[in-house]
Structure 1
Amino acid sequence: MSNPTTAWFNTLTASVQALGAASREYRMAERAAHHALWNTEPTRVFPVAGAVTGPQRNAVRPHHDALRQLRALHTEMHERTKTLYENAAEVYAHGAATALHSVLLGERPEYVELRRRGDSFVQPTAGLPDLRALLGEWAGSGRLATLREQVAERKHARAVVADFEFFEDLAGCVIPEWSHASDQAAGLADSAHAYGETAESALYFVFLTGRTPRDGGDGRR
């Protein structure tokens, strides 16, 4: 006997859930890497001054050397996990929004479709859709709209930071615009992840209630 066909809304929901799970994994890894890096902060950990010598009478300070190497490793890990988390969170936001938008328009996509390059997904060039009109009176509509604005603002800030970082001679300068943009950009991943979670909740709401514009709100197709 053949296996029953999986309904399109189950595979679509699983796609969005998988994107959210991936984003959460990277978020935990980024948090762990940040904590590990903090543990080797020079202003917090003072190396033991003791030294040892080798056959060539070269002195080495073991604790200082350990902290230096560990800090380099943790810095690399933190930058890598931060990049992966930001990518996964943005893709989660776009994937959940795209799935929700399609269903609200009466479409039946089986999966979230994304392009991939290397170890990361290719970020969609379009911004997140404005779903307020389609969601109607759903309780989370306002929060979704606010998060959409936050993601857009933080993405703009990320672009500003990238422009400033292009000029290495500005690295030591204190520029108000760069400082503000850097603070804004730092929250991009968290805002995108929060948007993805809210859009995913909206998707469940639509599936459970059958309230889509093209079925009259009563679930008939």
Structure 2
Amino acid sequence: MSKPTTTWFDTLTASVQALGAASREYCMAERAARSALWNTDPTRVFPVAGAVSVPRRNVVRPHHDALRQLRALHTEMHERTKTLYENAAETYAHGAATALHSVLVGERPEYVELRHRSGSYVRPTAPLPDLRPLLGEWAGSCRLATLREQVEEREHARAVVADFEFFEDLAGCVNPEWSHASDQAAGLADSAQAYGETAESALYFVLLTGRTHRDGEDGR
């Protein structure tokens, strides 16, 4: 028995689906790490004052020591998962947009093509394309355009604060531009993921309605 033929749109949609699944996994991990960090917040959790005697160290306060070490671990985990989530979400957004645009102009790519370096995806330098003229009557066109604007604004804000290691700490900065940029940049991953999900829905619409056809082609 011959093996079933895998079509270009099967592998392409699988590529986009995989990017979305990766972004959502990192999103859940970032949420979990944030919750764990909150559970060791020194302004919320007061350590038990009891101490134990340890040779050559005088006394140790076990609960205080546990909270200190756990907070350091959770801080590291949160920073790492936040970085991974942002990278995956931006990649999902740009990957889904590229796939959608390619199909809309009559191309038939088999996969989303990306570059990968040092454990992260290299985000394309080109901005997200404006797909409204090509999507026509699709009901989600306006939402996709709005999300595109949000992602672009947040990517610009992220670039403004890129030189600061902990850009969220700038939220209370007296410089209003930095403060606004920090607030905007903090929501980049969520906006990018929302864009990716909407672009993926548009891709299914385009494929199911046959809007991939070039003039005179039957789409086979």
Tell me the TM-score range normalised by the shorter chain: over 0.9
Runs of 4+ in 1 over 6 A off after TM superposition: none
- Write the deviation string for residues 116-141 of structure 1: whole angstroms up to 9, x where unpaired: 00211111110100000000111000
User: What is the match of residue 207 of structure 1?
Assistant: 207
- Write the deviation string for residues 70-113 of structure 1: whole angstroms up to 9, x where unpaired: 00000000000000000000000011000000000011000000
**Separation (CA, whole Å) in 2 of partners of 1:151 and 1:93:** 9
**Separation (CA, whole Å) in 1 of partners of 2:97 and 2:57:** 64
User: What is the match of residue 47 of structure 2?
Assistant: 47
**Separation (CA, whole Å) in 2 of partners of 1:16 and 1:173:** 38
**Separation (CA, whole Å) in 2 of partners of 1:107 and 1:131:** 15
**Separation (CA, whole Å) in 1 of partners of 2:49 and 2:29:** 32
Alignment of 1:115-130 (within 5 A): 115-130=115-130
Alignment of 1:59-208 (within 5 A): 59-163=59-163, 165=164, 174-208=174-208
Q: Percent identity?
A: 84
Measure how far apart 1:177 and its partner are: 1.6
User: What is the match of residue 220 of structure 1?
Assistant: 218
SS of residue matched to 1:116: strand
Measure how far apart 1:195 and its partner are: 0.3
**Separation (CA, whole Å) in 1 of partners of 2:175 and 2:66:** 35
**Separation (CA, whole Å) in 2 of partners of 1:68 and 1:196:** 38
Instruction: Give structure 1 stretches of 5+ with no counterpart.
Output: none
Residue type of the alignment partner of 2:218: R
Matched, 1:16 2:16: yes
> Which has the larger displacement, 48-57 or 131-140?
48-57
Q: Structure 1 residues 57, 146: CA separation in 2 closer, same or farther (over 3 Å shift)?
A: closer
Q: TM-score, normalised by structure 1?
A: 0.92
Pairwise CA RMSD of aligned residues?
A: 1.9
Q: Structure 1 residues 213, 147: CA separation in 2 closer, same or farther (over 3 Å shift)?
A: farther
- Write the deviation string for residues 36-77 of structure 1: whole angstroms up to 9, x where unpaired: 000000110001111111123611111010000000000000
The number of residue pairs the alignment matches comes to 216
Instruction: Give structure 2 stretches of 5+ with no counterpart.
Output: none
Matched, 1:36 2:4: no
**Separation (CA, whole Å) in 2 of partners of 1:17 and 1:179:** 35
**Separation (CA, whole Å) in 2 of partners of 1:64 and 1:154:** 38
**Separation (CA, whole Å) in 2 of partners of 1:147 and 1:57:** 56
Residue type of the alignment partner of 2:17: Q
**Separation (CA, whole Å) in 1 of partners of 2:173 and 2:114:** 39
Measure how far apart 1:215 and its partner are: 4.5
Q: Structure 1 residues 7, 180: CA separation in 2 closer, same or farther (over 3 Å shift)?
A: same
